[in-house]
A and B are shown apart, each in its own frame.
Chain A
Amino acid sequence: MIRRLFVLVLLIIIGYFLGTAMASIPFGAEKVDVGPYRSVGNYYVDNTVQETGGVNAVTSIVVLYRGFDTLGEVTVLFLAATGLAAILALTRERRKLKKEKPSLIMRVGTDYLFPAAIVLGSYVFLHGHLTPGGGFPGGVIIASGFLMLFLAQWRYKVDELGLKIIESLAGMTYVTIGLIGLFKLGTFLGNFLGKGTPGALLSAGIIPVIYIVIGIKVGSEMTGLLQNLRETTENE
């Protein structure tokens, strides 16, 4: 009872402060004044193509305008995967679990879907600057291809050391590209490769390079994570 009262009081306090903060912004009015543009969003819509050469404004923002934040996101994912691996290594499960053979449909379907998943994932991160997508979803699509493989074939294993090496190399490449930008242009992750023709595959400078790196990194990280989970589930 006293706990519920405590929660209620806490909710009222949070609600009060959120309410007062929101009340100071007039409803429907433009929140940020950026000169001739009515809002920050309009600025990006109008200027992204000239400033970055990337046709997809979303990925231009993610990689160029706020590339440093994206490096932070990649780090968060890396730390989460490492933390999970550490926890799983500490608590090796001894319980025996029933194994069922994967069905024929699962096995045959995976044979056809696995290459498709890899190709789709690579497409999504290679064309991040042209079409919707980017490194994170591309990497996750590749990892889900590996998930299908794990489900359909009990004995299949990915070389864990190889995954870690690929992942570390990708992370190092990201930072190196950022440092090259720092030395050449004076800003971390500066676009030192030029803009190219907007809409061409090789355009928008470092966006495709960064997205290839992120795609490979996220894909190998997620695959390693799934393999870790699977092993602690099915061993013993």
Chain B
Amino acid sequence: MAPFVLYLSLALAILMIVGAIVVVVTKDLLVAVIASAVVDLVLAILFYILQAPDVAITQAAIGAGLTTAIFVVVLRKTERFEDD
């Protein structure tokens, strides 16, 4: 793996971890949904870098696309903020 690609994947992995922490910590569920979409999208890019384009396409379409939309619709039906 070329050094540039290595650093890029490391940065993306760190971004994923930060996103995952935001998902768990935040009380605003809309923010949590967006952050989990970011995690999914970065995961798709990482799959592509790791030469798994099949999985990358599926991850981007289902994880970042459709799941996020369904979560947002469900949030509209329920509560936006998590109570303690």
What residues make up the interface of A, taking CB atoms closer than 8 Å to B? 56, 58-59, 93, 97, 124, 132-134, 136-137, 140-141, 143-144, 147, 222, 225-226, 229-230, 232-233
Instruction: Establish whether residues B70 and A229, one from each chain, have CB atoms under 8 Å apart when the complex forms.
Output: yes
Instruction: Establish whether residues B76 and A233, one from each chain, have CB atoms under 8 Å apart when the complex forms.
Output: yes
Chain B proximity of A90: nearest CB distance (Å) = 14
SS of A interface (majority):
helix
Q: Mark B60-74, 1 if CB is under 8 A from A, else 0.
A: 011001100110011
Interface locus among B10-18, B30-38, B50-58: B50-58
By a CB distance below 8 angstroms, the chain B residues around A233 are 73, 76-77
CB-defined A-B contacts under 8 Å, sample of 11: A132-B53, A136-B58, A136-B62, A140-B58, A140-B66, A222-B66, A226-B70, A229-B70, A229-B73, A233-B73, A233-B77
What is the count of residue pairs linking A and B with beta-carbon distances less than 8 angstroms? 46
Instruction: Establish whether residues B73 and A140, one from each chain, have CB atoms under 8 Å apart when the complex forms.
Output: no
Instruction: Establish whether residues B69 and A137, one from each chain, have CB atoms under 8 Å apart when the complex forms.
Output: no
Instruction: Establish whether residues A97 and B76, one from each chain, have CB atoms under 8 Å apart when the complex forms.
Output: yes
Contact with A140, one of B53, B61, B74, B76 (Cβ below 8 angstroms): B61
User: Bound state CA distance, A105 and B54, in angstroms?
Assistant: 32
User: Bound state CA distance, A59 and B54, in angstroms?
Assistant: 9
User: Bound state CA distance, A232 and B56, in angstroms?
Assistant: 32
Chain A proximity of B23: nearest CB distance (Å) = 20
Contact with B54, one of A58, A97, A140 (Cβ below 8 angstroms): A58
Task: Name 11 extra pairs, CB < 8 A, besides A97-B76, A140-B58, A144-B66.
Answer: A59-B54, A124-B57, A132-B53, A137-B57, A137-B58, A137-B62, A140-B62, A140-B66, A144-B61, A230-B73, A233-B73
